[in-house]
Chains A and B, each alone.
Chain A
Amino acid sequence: MASNRGLLGVVVGETKPHRFRFLASRAVSMGEYVTVESPEGRLLGLAEDTATRSVLLDKISNFESAIEAKRVATKNVRDKSYLASVKVVGTLDGLRGGQVTLPSLPPEPGSEVFEAGSDEISGVFDRMERRWAQVGGLLRNPEVRVSVDIDKVASRHLAILSVTGGGKSNLLALMTKKVAELGGTMVVFDYHGEYSGLSIPRAVHADAKINPRYVNSDQLADLMEVRENAEVQRTVLLKAFTDDVKTAKEFWKSLLASIATVGENEKDSRKAATRLQDIVKVAMRRMKTVIDPDVGEVLDQLKASKVNILNMLEFTERQANAAISYYLAEILEDRKRAMHGAEEQRVRFTAPIICAIEEAHAFIPSEGDADTKYIASKVAREGRKFGMALVVVSQRPRRVDQDVLSQMGSFAIMKLTNPEDQAHIREASEAISEDLLQNLPSLNVGEAVLLGEWVNIPAVVKIDHVAEKKTGADISATSLWAAEGKMSQVAVESTKSSMVLE
């Protein structure tokens, strides 16, 4: 539709080059794009906040009066007012040419505001170059496709933030699909086994496993679930975890023997050594799917130019923390080697790699220390130089480390209802305005505000559904119970039939 299709509203109040308000002829949706004339040409704006009010019903304080007021106010065309607050995202001509040019002069009060036509703005949101990947359609103009810059994700990181069930994992699945289509390398630390059913070309599914020979004693302690404050046990392990143990053919046997030796030599550590031996035996028996002295180096488990889904369902939180930090550290070292021109055989990943961390509030917490937090901070700060990027996913942004969050160059913010979460994001990124934050609770599942470097301008988007992702949706308990009941009934009938036949 062209811009002159009809007047939507008129600019009122004080205007700024980057913001204005207008009174509209109809209710305006949050996320709608509009155009307005300005001294520097047509501007494109995003409605970040909208309000509808009735002059009469504003002053009513009881039910009876409200019924009367409703009846008479509906006949009055002037009773309702529709006000929208708009963030100017740039000049329309500039945006069509791929440039974000913000005006220096505000639109004048009284300027006419029009709906932005799909034909006018499709070139703004949907880019053809290889590095751009389509992720959905504009929420209010679904026919306008929206692309994101994967290069920016791979260099400046991305945060995907939403309440549980808001569509985070679908978006992450979509990102893996797009990276796979581009032949990129990605690692997804799949803590909940949510992506085990993701069936896309170039996806490689593997169970995450840590070879204890390659980790340090603290990491091994974490992997074996030695309590964090069990200092004596950890000291015994530090002493026992010698190079000989690391290279021993029978790793566990050697470790147990070494712990026993420490216990024998140090009277004060005897009790701790005995307890530690028990822990090692439990680890040998119950954690062999997680800790495996015969598995190769972690980098051997990952494939270049593939999307590597690392299933960590068997990991406890502490184990996952130790494991993710280990993977990240190894990948970072590999990328450093690659960037410093090390011999090809010593480098696993010759091209940039993106690592996605689900449940970031658990592994990169705002309070306390965690192995992953340390290395993730490092990657967030330095990853750009070495071609390593993070995708941080969380349903509790307020509990994600602020330093890491503030390093995220791009954001996909979906439904968020907690004001503390919103405030935390506001502190981490200047890209999101107060108006937009206040409207986040009104987003539906799969709807997201895309902000930052991976988009030309802020976009409110309905994210494409990834049909290839088979798991992750809420379980329907009632359907499953019904199915189970039917099966039991069939079993009973079958038993009866057998008895009759006999």
Chain B
Amino acid sequence: MIETLEYAVDNRELILSAIKPEEHESIIKRAKDTWVEFEPEASEERRLVGIDSSWNSIPYQGFYIYAVDAVAVLGNGKYLVKPSFEVGLGTLAVRSGEDYFSSPELALESKGMEYEFEQAKSCLGSADCVLVDGSILARYYDRKQHKEGSFYDRAKELMAQEGLLYVSKKSYSNAALHGTLGDMFYYNRMSFDPGFSSPHIDRTGVSVSYVRLARDSPCIRIEVPGRVGSSDIQRIMSLLKGSSVDGYPYVLRLAHESGKISHDEMLSLANLLGLEAELGGRQVLGE
């Protein structure tokens, strides 16, 4: 580890040169060209629900113990529908074509997304807007790249589902501006005022816009299934404005807090299952 720190000290300027604004002036200008200034007025109180999933696992010799949980939370902190969850033990393998390979991250994230979708479907019709944490497109392309079949078809279905809105705090996609860094980097630097980028339609048919709900707050990325225009984005911004803190929807913050599975909780789970004595990977490393 010490050698990496030493390198970072010696090469600080070089490492940080990638995010120097002067290196990105042309793309920042392009971002400005697509930006629409818009100060949303909070619409009358609407019933929003935030959906998020969480997963965690503990590696043992030859298997994992894992837990996945997805929740749908209203602004009053209550669940709109019963959470979807799974606790299990296995190798956490995923299918790629005809093959299987062990990837706990991919396997558990896929399960989490399935449960999120289950939650979202149950919420449709009971809320004015269903917000799902994260990017459906990122997950879709990730799985496509891995040829991970089990979730692939489900993702397509999700991307066609009306009434859903996907919201990301972070994004590394450069599909809109084609810069060397993610689009979000440029939109966060070109303005501090509220507004949005003109919707970009992905080839899957999902519309993408970067949105700043309040002055000086960070941009968020929203994905809406289907083709939407600027007026739709403005309507969505007004819908989110009244129940957002620091430009981020409160229901998603609540969903994150409610569904989160911490390492301590995993240890409690292992304890409940009587697995304290089982030799785990961490123990091998002496951690």
Chain A: residues with CB nearer than 8 A to chain B?
55-56, 60, 64-65, 68-69, 71-73, 75-79
Any A CB within 8 A of the CB of B25: no
How many angstroms from the CA of A73 to the CA of B253 in the assembled complex?
Answer: 11
Q: A77-B78, A78-B77 are in contact. Are A72 and B214 (CB under 8 A)?
A: no
Task: Check if A56 sits within 8 Å of B76, measured CB to CB.
Answer: no
The interface residues of chain B lying within 8 Å CB-to-CB of A55 are: 257
Task: Check if B253 sits within 8 Å of A76, measured CB to CB.
Answer: no
For window 188-207 of chain B, which residues contact chain A by CB distance below 8 Å?
A: none
Task: Check if B245 sits within 8 Å of A69, measured CB to CB.
Answer: yes
With CB as the reference atom, state the residue of chain A lying closest to B253. A56
Task: Check if B254 sits within 8 Å of A76, measured CB to CB.
Answer: yes
Task: Check if A68 sits within 8 Å of B254, measured CB to CB.
Answer: no
Chain B min CB distance to A381 (Å): 53
The interface residues of chain B lying within 8 Å CB-to-CB of A77 are: 76-78
The interface residues of chain A lying within 8 Å CB-to-CB of B104 are: none
Chain B min CB distance to A73 (Å): 8
- CB-based closest 6 A-B pairs: A78-B77, A76-B77, A72-B250, A68-B245, A69-B245, A65-B246
Any A CB within 8 A of the CB of B75: yes
Task: Check if B76 sits within 8 Å of A68, measured CB to CB.
Answer: no
Q: A55-B257, A56-B250, A76-B254 are in contact. Are A68 and B244 (CB under 8 A)?
A: yes
List 8 interface pairs A-B (beta carbons < 8 Å), by A numbering. Answer: A64-B214, A68-B244, A72-B75, A72-B244, A72-B245, A72-B250, A77-B76, A79-B77
Any A CB within 8 A of the CB of B243: yes
How many angstroms from the CA of A56 to the CA of B73 in the assembled complex?
Answer: 15
How many angstroms from the CA of A68 to the CA of B42 in the assembled complex?
Answer: 12
The interface residues of chain B lying within 8 Å CB-to-CB of A69 are: 245
Give the interface size class of chain B.
Answer: 10 to 19
With CB as the reference atom, state the residue of chain A lying closest to B215. A64
Task: Check if A75 sits within 8 Å of B76, measured CB to CB.
Answer: yes
Task: Check if B77 sits within 8 Å of A56, measured CB to CB.
Answer: no
Chain B min CB distance to A75 (Å): 5
Task: Check if A60 sits within 8 Å of B78, measured CB to CB.
Answer: no
A-B contact count (CB 8 A): 36
For window 2-36 of chain B, which residues contact chain A by CB distance below 8 Å?
A: none
The interface residues of chain A lying within 8 Å CB-to-CB of B254 are: 76, 78
How many angstroms from the CA of A79 to the CA of B77 in the assembled complex?
Answer: 7
How many angstroms from the CA of A60 to the CA of B77 in the assembled complex?
Answer: 18
Which of B243, B246, B253, B257 lies at the interface centre, i.e. has the most chain A CB atoms within 10 A of its CB?
B246
Partner of A60, one of B216, B244, B245, B257: B245
Which of B75, B214, B250 lies at the interface centre, i.e. has the most chain A CB atoms within 10 A of its CB?
B250
The interface residues of chain B lying within 8 Å CB-to-CB of A71 are: 242
Task: Check if A75 sits within 8 Å of B245, measured CB to CB.
Answer: no
Partner of A75, one of B75, B214, B246: B75
Q: A64-B214, A72-B250, A76-B254 are in contact. Are A56 and B245 (CB under 8 A)?
A: yes
Q: A55-B257, A56-B250, A56-B253 are in contact. Are A72 and B243 (CB under 8 A)?
A: yes
How many angstroms from the CA of A72 to the CA of B75 in the assembled complex?
Answer: 7
The interface residues of chain A lying within 8 Å CB-to-CB of B244 are: 68, 72
Q: A56-B253, A69-B245 are in contact. Are A76 and B214 (CB under 8 A)?
A: no
The interface residues of chain B lying within 8 Å CB-to-CB of A56 are: 245, 250, 253
The interface residues of chain A lying within 8 Å CB-to-CB of B214 are: 64, 68
Which of A68, A71, A75, A78 lies at the interface centre, i.e. has the most chain B CB atoms within 10 A of its CB?
A68
How many angstroms from the CA of A64 to the CA of B244 in the assembled complex?
Answer: 12
How many angstroms from the CA of A60 to the CA of B242 in the assembled complex?
Answer: 17
The interface residues of chain B lying within 8 Å CB-to-CB of A72 are: 75, 243-245, 250
The interface residues of chain A lying within 8 Å CB-to-CB of B242 are: 71
Chain B min CB distance to A158 (Å): 48
Task: Check if A76 sits within 8 Å of B75, measured CB to CB.
Answer: yes
The interface residues of chain B lying within 8 Å CB-to-CB of A73 are: 250
With CB as the reference atom, state the residue of chain A lying closest to B243. A72
Q: A55-B257, A56-B253 are in contact. Are A68 and B77 (CB under 8 A)?
A: no
With CB as the reference atom, state the residue of chain B lying closest to A67. B245
The interface residues of chain A lying within 8 Å CB-to-CB of B257 are: 55
How many angstroms from the CA of A72 to the CA of B214 in the assembled complex?
Answer: 15
The interface residues of chain B lying within 8 Å CB-to-CB of A75 are: 75-76
Chain A min CB distance to B119 (Å): 18
Q: A55-B257, A56-B253 are in contact. Are A68 and B246 (CB under 8 A)?
A: yes
How many angstroms from the CA of A76 to the CA of B245 in the assembled complex?
Answer: 14
How many angstroms from the CA of A68 to the CA of B257 in the assembled complex?
Answer: 18
With CB as the reference atom, state the residue of chain B lying closest to A55. B257
How many angstroms from the CA of A71 to the CA of B250 in the assembled complex?
Answer: 10
With CB as the reference atom, state the residue of chain B lying closest to A56. B245
How many angstroms from the CA of A73 to the CA of B250 in the assembled complex?
Answer: 9
How many angstroms from the CA of A69 to the CA of B249 in the assembled complex?
Answer: 11
How many angstroms from the CA of A402 to the CA of B239 in the assembled complex?
Answer: 66
Task: Check if A65 sits within 8 Å of B245, measured CB to CB.
Answer: yes
How many angstroms from the CA of A65 to the CA of B75 in the assembled complex?
Answer: 17
How many angstroms from the CA of A79 to the CA of B253 in the assembled complex?
Answer: 11
The interface residues of chain A lying within 8 Å CB-to-CB of B75 are: 72, 75-76
The interface residues of chain B lying within 8 Å CB-to-CB of A60 are: 245-246
With CB as the reference atom, state the residue of chain A lying closest to B249. A72
B164-180 interface bits toward A, Cβ cutoff 8 Å, 1 = contact, 0 = none: 00000000000000000
Chain B min CB distance to A390 (Å): 53
Chain A min CB distance to B264 (Å): 13
The interface residues of chain A lying within 8 Å CB-to-CB of B243 are: 72
With CB as the reference atom, state the residue of chain A lying closest to B241. A68
Known contacts A65-B246, A73-B250, A78-B77; 4 additional CB pairs below 8 A are: A60-B245, A72-B250, A76-B75, A76-B250
The interface residues of chain A lying within 8 Å CB-to-CB of B246 are: 60, 65, 68
How many angstroms from the CA of A60 to the CA of B214 in the assembled complex?
Answer: 15
B227-247 interface bits toward A, Cβ cutoff 8 Å, 1 = contact, 0 = none: 000000000000000111110
How many angstroms from the CA of A64 to the CA of B217 in the assembled complex?
Answer: 10
How many angstroms from the CA of A79 to the CA of B75 in the assembled complex?
Answer: 10
How many angstroms from the CA of A237 to the CA of B242 in the assembled complex?
Answer: 87
Chain A min CB distance to B141 (Å): 32
B67-95 interface bits toward A, Cβ cutoff 8 Å, 1 = contact, 0 = none: 00000000111100000000000000000
Chain B min CB distance to A493 (Å): 67
Chain B min CB distance to A25 (Å): 14
The interface residues of chain B lying within 8 Å CB-to-CB of A65 are: 245-246
How many angstroms from the CA of A78 to the CA of B75 in the assembled complex?
Answer: 10
How many angstroms from the CA of A11 to the CA of B245 in the assembled complex?
Answer: 32
How many angstroms from the CA of A316 to the CA of B78 in the assembled complex?
Answer: 70
